[in-house]
């Protein structure tokens, strides 16, 4: 089964050439749905669909409940992922039957229902887009993460999707275009298609099924939903914006506000559509290479610091964020406007008093808040936005970046309807709407005195009214400190100034001299983009975030795909920097006190033990105060019975006496000291940190002030709790076991330059070995061996997929095996720096790992890049099949710690069977036309026959360890026989599977 592409598969219903443009919805002549002329046949199809939808709604109570439908769909997901419908045995309840592998459509029309052939074809076309990959999202919503491998980036020019995204990003860094000399003062009327798209996305928040989403698409004029690439049909999967520490309480934004219709002698012009995509302050676009206007430093500056030609029609503003609620996606703050002119021509000698307004707003995530301004009443508990329309919202959003850079409203509509494009856009931009609620006076409660005048013009606010602080159409741009601390703000207001000095707002309906109160809606955008150091001129903030390991680029997901009550079982910390939870006694490991608390160490050999509460790993930093001279010692252990002044073993040397020793920070003078572990001594896994004093002086003491640890695992994830899968049951212990396994996998995703040093040290430890290209890689263990072992990946990769979802680490681990393939086609048993050889089983696990990775990610570019090497690997291992037995003759005997390996070992033959079966799928996915898929399946069938003939022990009811007369019946070979389908349930060998299952249970013991 080839991995589905990003577009719907299968043939469309037959349509003639005249109707082709209607189906494709791409003709520019039909870009505006108001002008689209549907054929009679199309109208009949729509009527049929509407009639069928009404009938389905009427009969909904007679159908299977929605919970049952979801359960059946989940069973189909699990059945297909494990290939039960093809070759794997199934014991117990049989899998749910389905019409085809890609059958993800809702329940078919009941028999006897009058459905025309055209309507049936239309319905099939609508549902065809659901495939195996989209269903797998039920367990793993965002598994295709950006690759961080250096070698894969070199191959990026072969990936059209990546090229398109790169070109999309580059458009925002282009040179400033020529300016429009006759700009429009108000947005032109947007396309009805864009308006309908906004309405459709807003309506999705009320849709609970895929059926309802498609019906909503039709109701809003999206005639052929399947023609939209990756159409958004479920906004409950949050399109959340990129996290940024600038979007936090206390963040300070500074810029300028200005009018767009100035009086005589004004230096202003109205902004053009292209302005919105450029980094600029005020009304003059400024490329990155040019200087920035004067800095806001210290107290707010006056208009005198602006160039003389710009004094008349622009003034500085400062926005301070006071509250951000990411649960409700709301934001609040205050805006101070300095030197706002009372008339068109202010006098430089008498600057006006600063004006402050309170503002509140919503962050657009498509789930809680959509692009449409809500029509809630002031007493509904939400933000009381002025009444507006979808047409007005469409007019303003399409004039904000990144939409303003698109060629037409048709392109904007297609972009906001595509989940792929919107996820890309929202990784760079944050969309918001703000409303200035009221004026703030220093001698009164911020919004008490004038709240009654905040939405209408009244006589009681003449002073504020004449000052005319305004809201309107604005844009912000800021660099996310989660990627880099270099940031820059762009702030623009689009307002109008009347001859009497009053102001009106560009809110879609322009009144000639209409003065406004601070009650209109702002549409805002935060832009997250790279900047050079010169972009910092005039801007600064104390809000910074170091959320990924050693400032690596963050490529992981931002949020958990399935948040819920099960999230409390996640062991991963909420921050990359953690601290101990308690202090223990070295003598008896009892708890002395909670941490932070008094931590005094006096005398040679004295020590305290700091408990982090769970397994952690990384680099520790300790600040402490000393008297006298000596050394602070650090020792690490995972268990209490190894606590002491000597670390437990991690380097693999296992020297007499055991353990890795300790590391020390020497001090010779009294006072405050800070010690941070060097990177080579990174400790991959520990729970207990013992701090002790080594000294020759009786008066030497140490007082521990602070202890912090920078987590070293999952190095490219800013949110360590953003699991892409979940598990939950009624058994609390089972839930903890599942999440313990997930956390173990997470600790095994490590920075690529922190592998165990080879050859191992005689004393101490060093984790500075090079593991692979890229930035993150999955290894066999956090503390030891910290190396890529493909055999471990046979279990680790599927488990990672359904739990954490970090497949970048998997890709880099597999690529390093291909990069170190031997000339004879064999893979190493382990990756660098170990590079151990001669393991037939681990060779095959690298090939199976390739299948699992491509299955879960559809990364066919990775497959194409390594296809020739994969074929070489298959030739190497199949050449060891011995005739006439037809069994694999194992000569590379290194394996996991099983008792023996070699000859026609049954475990190795089971692995070869699975290698051939998965190789057939890879050949199909790669598009091979030479018959490899059929050849591999034929070889697998012959191998299965040989295994059952020579390795089955009928009297015992299980497979032997090999084809000799042995009494050893290994657990690994028998488990794989059932799991891989060597004894399929649908064949005459099904009784063997039952027998194996019974035998395996005999070795179970109470926990």
Domain CATH number, residue 676? 2.60.120.260
Query: Looking at the structure, do residues 405 and 543 belong to the same domain, yes or no?
Result: yes
Q: Is the pLDDT of residue 312 over 80?
A: no
Q: Are residues 934 and 986 in the same domain?
A: yes
The verdict on 585 and 541 lying in the same domain is no
Burial 115-146 (b: 16+ CB within 10 A, else e): beebbeebbebbbbbbbbbebbeebbbbbebe
pLDDT tens-digit readout, 458-475: 323 323 322 222 233 333
Query: Is residue 49 domain-resident?
Result: no
- Residues 614, 701, single domain; the answer is yes
Coil, helix or strand for 633? strand
Q: How confident is the model at residue 58 (pLDDT cuts 50, 70, 90)?
A: low
pLDDT band at 525, cuts 50/70/90? low
Which residues does 879 contact at the CB level (< 8 Å), separation at least 6? Answer: none
Q: Which two tokens stand for residue 238?
A: 């949050």
- Residue 21 and residue 6: Cα distance in Å, rounded? 21
pLDDT confidence bin for 342, thresholds 50/70/90: low
Q: What is the mean pLDDT of the chain?
A: 71
Domain termination site, one of 711, 728, 763: 711
Q: How confident is the model at residue 257 (pLDDT cuts 50, 70, 90)?
A: low
Give the confidence band of 512 by pLDDT, cuts at 50, 70, 90.
very low
* Both tokens assigned to 885: 């037995």
User: Position of tokens 């987590």?
Assistant: 711
Q: Estimate the share of the chain in helix, then strand, then coil, as percent rounded to the nearest 5.
A: 35, 15, 50
The rounded percent of the chain whose pLDDT value lies above 70 is 60
Q: Does any domain span residue 47?
A: no
Domain CATH number, residue 917: 1.50.10.10
Segment 754-795, tens digit of pLDDT: 999 998 888 899 999 999 999 999 999 999 999 999 999 999
Whether the predicted pLDDT of 306 surpasses 60: no
pLDDT surpasses 50 at 185: no
pLDDT band at 141 (very low <50, low <70, confident <90, very high): very low
Model confidence over 688-718: pLDDT tens digits?
A: 999 999 999 999 999 999 999 999 999 999 9
Quick one: which of 740, 826, 820 has its CA closest to 788?
820
**873 has pLDDT over 80:** yes
Q: Of 51-55, 76-80, 630-634, give the lowest mean pLDDT range.
A: 76-80
Residues 470-491: what's their mean pLDDT?
31
Which is it for the CA torsion 776, 782, 788, 791, positive or negative? negative
pLDDT band (50, 70, 90) for residue 242: low
Residues 947 and 846 in one domain: yes
pLDDT band for 61, please (50, 70, 90 cuts): low
Flag whether 247 is in a domain.
no
Q: Which of 695, 711, 727 is the endpoint of a domain?
A: 711
Residues 661 and 523 reside in one and the same domain: no
> Does residue 200 lie within any of the structural domains?
no
Range name among 90-94, 782-786, 944-948 with the lowest pLDDT average: 90-94
pLDDT of residue 1005: 81
Q: pLDDT confidence of 416, banded at 50, 70, 90?
A: confident
- Report the pLDDT value the prediction gives residue 330, as an integer from 0 to 100: 86
Kindly report, residue by residue over 114-135, the tens digit of the pLDDT.
Answer: 445 555 554 444 434 333 333 3
For residue 743, what pLDDT is reported?
98
Same domain for 582 and 493 = no
Q: 56-60, 378-382, 509-513, 798-802: which has the minimum mean pLDDT?
A: 509-513
What average pLDDT does range 891-903 have in this prediction?
A: 89
**Residues 607 and 690 placed together within one structural domain of the fold:** yes
Given a cut of 70, whether residue 735 has pLDDT beyond it is yes
More confident residue, 525 or 772: 772
Residue 577, token pair as written in the block: 């920097």
CA distances, 827 to each of 189, 777, 798, 928 (Å): 62, 18, 21, 23
pLDDT of residue 323: 83
pLDDT at residue number 629: 96
| pLDDT top residue among 579 and 317 | 579
Q: Which residue has the higher pLDDT, 484 or 950?
A: 950
Residue where the block lists tokens 């994969």: 870
Most confidently modeled range among 6-10, 280-284, 525-529, 807-811 = 807-811
pLDDT of residue 402: 82
- Report if residue 37 sits inside a domain: no
Is residue 285 located within the same domain as residue 400?
yes
In a domain, 314, yes or no: yes
Residue 206 burial (C-beta neighbours within 10 Å; 0-12, 13-18, 19+): exposed
* Domain closes at, from 693, 711, 729: 711
Asked whether the CA dihedral 438, 442, 448, 452 is positive or negative, the reply is negative
Distance CA(547)–CA(530), nearest Å, equals 17
According to the model, what pLDDT value does residue 359 have? 79
**Is 664 a domain residue?**
yes
State the total domains in the chain: 3
Q: Are 296 and 410 part of one and the same domain?
A: yes
The token pair at 72 is 């059946």
Highest mean predicted confidence (pLDDT) among 106-110, 266-270, 670-674: 670-674
Which pair of structure tokens corresponds to residue 917? 């079966």
Q: How far apart are CA 572 and CA 804, in angstroms?
A: 11
pLDDT number for residue 397: 83
Mean pLDDT of 864-885: 97
Query: How much is the pTM?
Result: 0.52
337 falls in which pLDDT band (50, 70, 90)? confident
Q: Which tens digits make up the pLDDT trace of 374-410?
A: 876 544 456 777 777 888 888 878 877 788 788 888 8
Same domain for 377 and 462, yes or no, is yes
Asked if residue 74 belongs to a domain, the reply is no
Cβ-proximal residues to 929 (8 Å cutoff; 6+ apart), any chain: none
Q: Which residue has the higher pLDDT, 564 or 85?
A: 564
Residue 246 has pLDDT above 50, yes or no: yes
Percent of the residues in the chain that have a pLDDT greater than 90, as a whole number = 42
How far apart are the two ends of the chain, measured CA to CA in Å? 40
The helix (H) or strand (E) run that includes residue 476 is strand 473-477
- Residue 228: predicted pLDDT: 56
Q: Which residue has the higher pLDDT, 326 or 921?
A: 921
Specify whether 495 is located in the same domain as 590.
Answer: no
- pLDDT tens for 219-230 read 777 755 455 557
For residue 723, pLDDT over 60 is answered with: yes
Whether residue 250 contacts residue 320, with contact meaning beta carbons closer than 8 Å, is answered with yes
In this model, does residue 421 exceed pLDDT 90? Answer: no
Q: Which of 497, 506, 558, 508 is nearest to 528 (CA)?
A: 558
Looking at per-residue confidence, does 539 or 158 come out higher? 158
* pLDDT computed for residue 251 by the predictor: 72
Confidence at 200, pLDDT banded by 50, 70, 90: confident
Give the pLDDT confidence score for residue 24 in this predicted structure.
Answer: 41
pLDDT at 879 over 90: yes
Does the pLDDT value for residue 455 go beyond 50? no
Q: In the predicted model, is pLDDT for residue 27 greater than 90?
A: no
Domain that holds residue 657: 577-711
């Amino acid at each position: 089964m080839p991995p589905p592409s990003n577009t719907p598969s299968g043939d469309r219903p037959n349509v003639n050439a005249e109707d082709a443009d209607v189906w494709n919805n791409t003709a520019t002549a039909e870009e505006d749905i108001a002008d689209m002329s549907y054929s009679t046949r199309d109208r009949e199809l729509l009527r049929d669909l509407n009639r069928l939808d009404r009938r389905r709604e009427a009969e909904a109570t007679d159908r299977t409940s929605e919970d049952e439908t979801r359960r059946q769909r989940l069973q189909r997901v699990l059945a297909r992922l494990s290939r039960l419908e093809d070759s794997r045995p199934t014991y117990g309840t049989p899998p749910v039957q389905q019409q085809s592998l890609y059958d993800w459509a809702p329940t078919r029309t009941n028999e006897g229902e009058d459905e025309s052939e055209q309507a049936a074809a239309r319905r099939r076309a609508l549902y065809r887009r659901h495939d195996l990959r989209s269903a797998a999202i039920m367990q793993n919503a965002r598994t295709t993460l950006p690759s961080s491998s250096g070698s894969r980036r070199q191959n990026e020019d072969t990936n059209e999707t990546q090229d398109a995204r790169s070109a999309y990003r580059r458009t925002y860094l282009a040179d400033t275009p020529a300016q429009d000399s006759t700009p429009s003062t108000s947005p032109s009327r947007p396309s009805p298609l864009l308006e309908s798209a906004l309405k459709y996305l807003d309506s999705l928040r009320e849709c609970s099924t895929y059926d309802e989403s498609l019906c909503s698409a039709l109701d809003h004029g999206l005639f052929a939903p399947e023609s939209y690439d990756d159409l958004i049909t479920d906004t409950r999967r949050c399109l959340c914006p990129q996290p940024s520490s600038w979007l936090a309480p206390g963040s300070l934004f500074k810029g300028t506000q200005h009018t767009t219709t100035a009086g005589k002698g004004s230096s202003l012009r109205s902004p053009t559509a292209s302005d919105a995509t450029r980094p600029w302050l005020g009304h003059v676009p400024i490329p990155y290479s040019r200087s920035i206007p004067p800095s806001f430093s210290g107290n707010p500056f006056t208009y005198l610091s602006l160039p003389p030609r710009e004094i008349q029609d622009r003034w500085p503003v400062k926005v301070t964020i006071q509250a951000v609620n990411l649960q409700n996606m709301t934001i609040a703050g205050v805006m101070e406007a300095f030197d706002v002119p009372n008339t068109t021509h202010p006098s430089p000698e008498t600057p006006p008093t600063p004006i402050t307004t309170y503002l509140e707003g919503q962050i657009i995530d498509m789930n809680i808040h959509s692009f449409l301004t809500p029509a809630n009443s002031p007493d509904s508990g939400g933000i009381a936005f002025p009444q507006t329309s979808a047409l007005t919202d469409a007019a303003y959003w399409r004039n904000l970046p990144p939409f303003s850079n698109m060629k037409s409203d048709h392109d904007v509509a297609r972009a906001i309807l595509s989940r792929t494009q919107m996820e890309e856009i929202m990784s760079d931009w944050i969309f918001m709407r703000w409303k200035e609620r009221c004026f703030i006076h220093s001698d009164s409660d911020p919004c008490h005195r004038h709240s009654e005048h905040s939405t209408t013009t009244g006589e009681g606010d003449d002073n504020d009214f004449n000052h005319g602080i305004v809201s309107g159409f604005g844009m912000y741009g800021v660099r996310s400190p989660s990627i880099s601390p270099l940031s820059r703000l762009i702030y623009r207001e689009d307002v109008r100034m009347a001859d009497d000095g009053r102001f009106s707002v560009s809110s879609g309906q322009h009144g000639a001299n209409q003065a406004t109160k601070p009650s209109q809606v702002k549409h805002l955008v935060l832009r997250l983009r790279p900047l050079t150091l010169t972009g910092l001129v005039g801007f600064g903030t104390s809000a910074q975030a170091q959320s990924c390991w050693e400032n690596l680029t963050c490529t992981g997901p931002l949020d958990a795909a399935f948040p819920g009550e099960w999230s409390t079982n996640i062991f991963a910390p909420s921050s990359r920097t953690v601290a101990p939870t308690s202090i223990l006694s070295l003598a008896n490991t009892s708890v002395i006190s909670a941490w932070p608390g008094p931590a005094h160490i006096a005398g040679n050999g004295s020590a305290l033990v700091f408990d982090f509460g769970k397994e952690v790993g990384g680099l520790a930093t300790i600040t402490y105060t000393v008297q006298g001279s000596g050394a602070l010692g650090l020792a690490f252990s995972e268990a209490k019975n190894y606590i002491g002044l000597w670390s437990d073993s991690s380097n693999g040397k296992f020297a007499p006496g055991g353990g890795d020793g300790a590391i020390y920070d020497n001090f010779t003078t009294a006072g405050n000291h800070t010690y941070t572990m060097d990177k080579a001594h990174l400790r991959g896994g520990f729970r207990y940190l013992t701090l002790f004093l080594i000294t020759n002086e009786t008066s030497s003491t140490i007082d521990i002030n602070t202890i912090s640890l920078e987590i070293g695992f999952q190095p490219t994830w800013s949110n360590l709790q953003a699991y892409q899968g979940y598990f939950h049951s009624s058994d609390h212990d089972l839930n903890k076991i599942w999440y313990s396994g997930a956390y173990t996998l997470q600790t095994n995703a490590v920075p690529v330059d922190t592998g165990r040093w080879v050859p191992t040290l005689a004393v101490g430890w060093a984790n500075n070995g090079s593991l692979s290209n890229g930035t993150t890689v999955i290894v066999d263990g956090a503390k030891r061996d910290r190396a890529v072992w493909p055999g471990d990946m046979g279990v680790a990769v599927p488990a990672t997929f359904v739990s954490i979802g970090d497949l970048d680490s998997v890709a880099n681990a597999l690529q390093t095996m291909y990069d170190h393939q031997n000339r004879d086609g064999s893979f190493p048993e382990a990756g660098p720096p170990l590079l151990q050889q001669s393991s037939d089983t681990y060779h095959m696990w690298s090939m199976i790992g390739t299948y699992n990775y491509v299955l879960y990610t559809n990364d066919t570019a990775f497959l194409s890049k390594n296809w020739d090497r994969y074929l070489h690997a298959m030739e190497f291992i199949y050449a060891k099949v011995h005739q006439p037995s037809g069994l694999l003759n194992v000569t590379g005997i290194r394996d996991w710690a099983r008792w023996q390996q070699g000859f026609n070992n049954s475990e190795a033959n089971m692995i070869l069977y699975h290698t051939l079966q998965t190789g057939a799928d890879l050949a199909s996915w790669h598009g091979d036309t030479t018959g490899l898929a059929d050849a591999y399946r034929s070889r697998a069938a012959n191998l299965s026959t040989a295994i059952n003939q020579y390795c089955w022990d009928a009297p015992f009811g299980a497979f032997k360890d090999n084809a000799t007369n042995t009494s050893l019946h290994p657990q690994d070979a028998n488990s794989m026989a059932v799991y891989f389908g060597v004894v399929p349930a649908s064949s005459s060998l099904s009784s063997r599977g039952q027998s194996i299952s019974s035998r395996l249970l005999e070795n179970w013991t109470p926990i």
